[in-house]
Amino acid sequence: MFRRNFLGFAAAGLLALGAVGPAAAQDDFIIVQSTTSTQNSGLFDHILPMFQDKTGIEVRVVAVGTGQAIKNAANGDGDVLFVHAKPAEEKFVADGDGVSRSDVMYNDFVIVGPSSDPAGVAGMSDVSAAMAKIADTGAAFASRGDDSGTHKAELRLWEAAGVDVDAASGGWYRETGSGMGATLNTGTGMDAYIMTDRATWISFGNKGEYQIVVEGDDRMFNQYGIILVNAEKHPNVKSEQGQAFIDWVLSEEGQAAIADYKIDGQQLFFPNAG
């Protein structure tokens, strides 16, 4: 008796196991390794259904920091890489992990800060001067610190401003080691200045008393690139579907879809393929 009941228990467990099937029966999908900024801004939710309607290919987006996205793609865990760190992207292609790189779109970085503006940088358009001023006054600055595209761009700007942030780390310079959203949540919690891409900022829901304090410097240009992962090195890559996605994103239709995406009437990304 107890044996039979016990087997019943086990059978119930195995039944539950049987319920595990592939999430989607269809196999026609690609995985795009991309960044939190594109995901969190809602851009993918806007453009991907258009692509799927046209081609029947489902695009599954893994949104992580640019650094991790590139590493994942270099492991072959993705068909397309869609990030924003041009030097790292070029190295990815040079290493043979990617086929070739194309510009897709850009937006720009901005520095946001509390309305009290402790460093007095509000309205400045020279990013180097503004950053130097933040460093001089010792006002708090929250950095991603996660090797993401935004983080790399931020480090280049500190270097241009002649500020050694390594020395200040843990003092006024605070590395959260997190994604853009988490860094915004943390930074606003400690009245710190934060550099973010404009798209994430516009769509960010927890702005509080924060506003954009520094914008408009050419050096804060944020270029996105797209790369097909190299099937010669990673045989599992779905080159055909991946290339179809890239072709569409770079096509007039795809570029128009990107330009079309607005939040509160503001355009978030500016297509610049070709």
Tell me if 56 contacts other proteins by CB under 8 A: no
Nearer to other proteins among residue 184 and residue 214 (C-beta): 184
Nearer to other proteins among residue 109 and residue 204 (C-beta): 204
Which contacts of 68-72 are long-range, i.e. CB under 8 A and separated by 24 or more positions? 68/146, 68/147, 68/148, 69/33, 69/34, 69/35, 70/33, 72/33
**Interface pick for other proteins out of 50, 55, 77, 155 (rule CB under 8 A):** 77
- Residue 37 CB contacts under 8 Å (≥ 6 apart), including other chains: 84, 149, 150, 180, 197, 199, 200
**Interface pick for other proteins out of 43, 63, 157, 268 (rule CB under 8 A):** 63
* Rounded CA separation 29/58 (Å): 4
DSSP letters along 89-144, please?
HHHHHHTTSEEEEEEEEEEEEEEEEETT-TT--TT---HHHHHHHHHHHT--EEE-
Nearer to other proteins among residue 61 and residue 127 (C-beta): 61
**Interface pick for other proteins out of 54, 60, 219, 262 (rule CB under 8 A):** 60
Q: Judged by CB under 8 A, how many residues of this single chain contact other proteins?
A: 44
Closest Cα partner for 195 from 224, 169, 165, 215?
A: 215
Nearer to other proteins among residue 19 and residue 167 (C-beta): 19
Q: Pattern 81-120, binding to other proteins, x per CB under 8 A?
A: ----------------------------------------
Helices and strands counted in the chain (H then E)? 12, 12
As measured in angstroms, the least distance from the Cβ of 42 to other proteins is 9
Q: Pattern 217-256, binding to other proteins, x per CB under 8 A?
A: -----------------x-x--------------------
* Rounded CA separation 143/135 (Å): 13
- Contact region for other proteins (CB under 8 A) — 70-78, 104-112, 169-177, 247-255? 70-78
Summarize as ranges the residues that interact with other proteins (CB under 8 A). Answer: 1-3, 5-6, 9-10, 12-14, 16-17, 19-20, 22-24, 31, 36, 39-40, 44-45, 60-63, 72, 75-77, 179-182, 184-185, 203-207, 234, 236
